[in-house]
Chain A
Amino acid sequence: MDSIAGLALGFGNALTLTNLAWALLGCFLGTAVGVLPGIGPALTIALLLPITFQVSATGAFILFCGVFYGAMYGGSTTSILLNTPGESGSIITALEGAKMARNGRAGPALATAAIGSFVAGTVGTLGIAFIGPVIVEWALVLGPAEYFSLMVLCFVTVSAVLGSSALRGLTSLAFGLMLGLVGIDLQTGQPRLTFGVPELLDGVNVVLVAVALFAVGEALHMAWRHHGGEAQVLPVGSVMLSKQDLKRSFWPWMRGAGLGFPFGVLPAGGTEMPTMLSYYAERKLAKPKYQKEFGTTGAIEGVAGPEAANNAAAAGILVPMLTLGLPTSATAAIMLSAFQSYGINPGPLLFTQQAELVWTLIASLFIANVMLVVLNLPLVGLWVRILKIPVPQLYAGILVFATIGTYGISNSVWDLVILYTLGVVAMFMRRFDFPVAPVVIGMILGPMAEQALRQALTISQGEWSVFVTRPGSAVILAIAVLALAGPRLWAIVAKRRG
């Protein structure tokens, strides 16, 4: 099916009342969790996973994607008004956005962030619709050896290339891989890493791990560092862009979207890098008379560009997830586990076997974008109210939902014990600067990588050389090695030179 026909089919399905309602609910929830510090889309989708038993796959994924996109919009509100970025993609937005807000320009900052998110989200979704099928064509020729190499590349980029330290990123990844191994080996039926405990035969639940890492660990870490004092919410004023603001925002939106999307698509995942690049580009490219606003009164270009890059990258992350089944962010990893609980395997066959689901989802992303820009501009006052929920009750509420989300899975107190134990581990991970996203990605992608490895070795009759003799696999592995070793070699070379 080509993209135009696909989109026609998708919009036909997405515009039904039920699916529109799912999209609206997702956008609303997503914006709320994006606004609230301490909860993000990964945690929210993990807590919502039980609906996969009740709701059709289409409805559930429209909801999840609404949450995913919505959190990107909501995150910018917190960055601008509180100067505390809710998620990594909006750290850069806080730089200029909070300065604009302090100088009475919160309204234009929020407006350029929301419209920029809309522009970039639309560009990114167009990218999914038109690039997705092309990648699928190409991915159909990949065998298990290439898949395994792709997953290795994915592991390297999410843990070693992004983040402050390759060593700590890889340690997080290995911990996640270990958690993923717990349970019965599907191929030979042997129990692995279970300590002989029968409850562990089914493996460690992904919801449990996500909730422990993102909710319990976060709450413990905040309590550890708690020293009183409330953050100040800056006043909003009128949310309008003047003609001049619009002119100054337009090209940063476009450049941000163009920069963000490819970063999301490549398994170089993450939104930090494109937002940072966009920020530096805009600071360089801004007219001289505006350049002095950077870092002083806050320049609108420095909000428009990174916000657009952030949303385009988020859209891009859906491309490898839908076409190859490779999640490159924690949220995508949890969405992948939702696909698995429907018995659907994301990957090249998804576009043909589940064409209706895929295209409805893509159409819903366009609809979600329109809903979000409406939710975020006229209704910005509502989100400011949400921001004023006091911290003690907010974290207390998050823990109540964390408890019910885990206890509800099995009604087992042991799950709560594991939840709180992993929460303590996550607190120490935060304190010692270990990233948590690679844990979730390793846990979900690890078993798939093992399966690909075994298939490849079965086909090659145990010949390990298959990973380097097949050209596709060899190239991908070479890129992975380069991504891992390149920056270090470069540092050594640069040091020698001088």
Chain B
Amino acid sequence: MKPGAVPDLAVGLGVVALGAMAGWLTWVIPVTPVYAVVGPKLVPALVAGALAALGLLLVVAALRGGWSADIPEVAEAGPPNVVSLAWLGGGMLLNLVLIVPLGFALSAAIQFVCTARAFGSRSPLRDAAIALLVSLGAFFLFVEALGVNIGAGLLEGAILRALGREVT
């Protein structure tokens, strides 16, 4: 087995595992005595079977040398940029933690600064200024134009109050 094919093998096994999980989830679907020619389990069982079978074929393909190492995009790329990924992932995690206590605008602005940093920006203060403009712009666009109800956070609430509007 070629060394480049190890990640491909992992992908194949992952798809088999996904198929097995779908199979188990199908197994536990409760069946009522309601008359139906095709019950609720048939199609999920077919999909689970297809996933498992395709996963096995991917495993075979990996054992035969894999596929991804030959893709020019992968072959030319250097090692994964762990620092970039860490900034990006860190921004996502911060957003998950902060979006409820701080509200959308501040939380998304923090994520913006982290993401910009991930892609090589070196001026966090300027990014923060742009971030607040973008996130507040997005907030008011979605709330006012698209009518999406996103609860107002600290910053949005303060602005709405300053405008003399009711805060929901």
Contacts and interface: CB of A to CB of B under 8 A. Distances in A.
Nearest to B28: A196
Contacts of B119: 222-223, 226, 391-392, 395-396
B77 A225 contact: yes
A277 interface: no
Interface string B73-89: 01001101100110111
Nearest to A419: B92
A227 B146 CA distance: 37
B88 to A, nearest CB: 4
A67 to B, nearest CB: 14
Nearest to A165: B67
Interface string A180-216: 0100010111111101000000000000000000000
Interface residues of B, number: 76
Contacts of A177: 47, 50
Interface string A216-242: 000110111111100000000000000
Nearest to B146: A50
A443 B58 CA distance: 22
Contact of A190 (B31, B48, B87): B31
Contact of B115 (A51, A175, A395, A409): A395
Given A171-B54, A224-B80, A407-B99, A181 B44 contact: yes
Contacts of B95: 403, 416
Given A167-B58, A190-B32, A408 B120 contact: no
Contact of A50 (B38, B44, B68, B147): B147
Interface stretch (A115-123, A333-341, A367-375, A426-434): A426-434
A491 interface: no
B25 A193 contact: yes
Contacts of A432: 7-8, 11, 67-68
Given A396-B127, A453-B43, A195 B54 contact: no
B100 interface: yes
B18 interface: yes
A428 B113 contact: no
Contacts of B26: 192-193
A400 B71 contact: no
A220 B147 CA distance: 29
A60 to B, nearest CB: 11
Contact of A407 (B18, B37, B38, B104): B104
A185 B111 contact: no
B166 to A, nearest CB: 18
A462 B58 contact: no
A292 B15 CA distance: 47
Contact of A223 (B37, B74, B85, B142): B85
Interface in A380-416: 390-393, 395-397, 399-401, 403-405, 407-409, 411, 413, 416
B102 interface: no
B120 A404 contact: no
A458 B151 CA distance: 46
Please report whether the interface of chain B is mostly helix, strand, loop or mixed according to DSSP.
helix
A225 to B, nearest CB: 5
B135 A50 contact: no
B30 interface: yes
A454 interface: yes
Interface residues of A, number: 66
B112 A397 contact: yes
A396 B147 contact: no
Contact of B111 (A53, A400, A408, A413): A400
Contact of A400 (B39, B67, B108, B121): B108
A188 B115 contact: no
B61 interface: yes
Interface string B56-75: 01100100000110010010
B51 A171 contact: yes
A51 B146 contact: yes
Contacts of B150: 404, 407-408, 411
Nearest to A461: B37
Contacts of A50: 142, 146-148
Contacts of A465: none
Given A170-B54, A392-B120, A407-B150, A454 B47 contact: no
17 contacts: A51-B145, A53-B147, A171-B51, A195-B25, A223-B85, A223-B119, A391-B120, A392-B120, A396-B113, A399-B115, A403-B108, A408-B148, A413-B99, A420-B92, A432-B67, A457-B37, A458-B38
Q: Give 3 nearest A-B pairs by CB, closest first.
A: A392-B119, A392-B121, A396-B115
Interface of B: 7-8, 11, 15, 18, 22, 25-26, 29-32, 34, 36-40, 43-44, 47-48, 50-51, 54-55, 57-58, 61, 67-68, 71, 74, 77-78, 80-81, 84-85, 87-89, 91-92, 95-96, 99-100, 104, 108-109, 111-113, 115-121, 127, 130-131, 134-135, 138-139, 142, 145-151
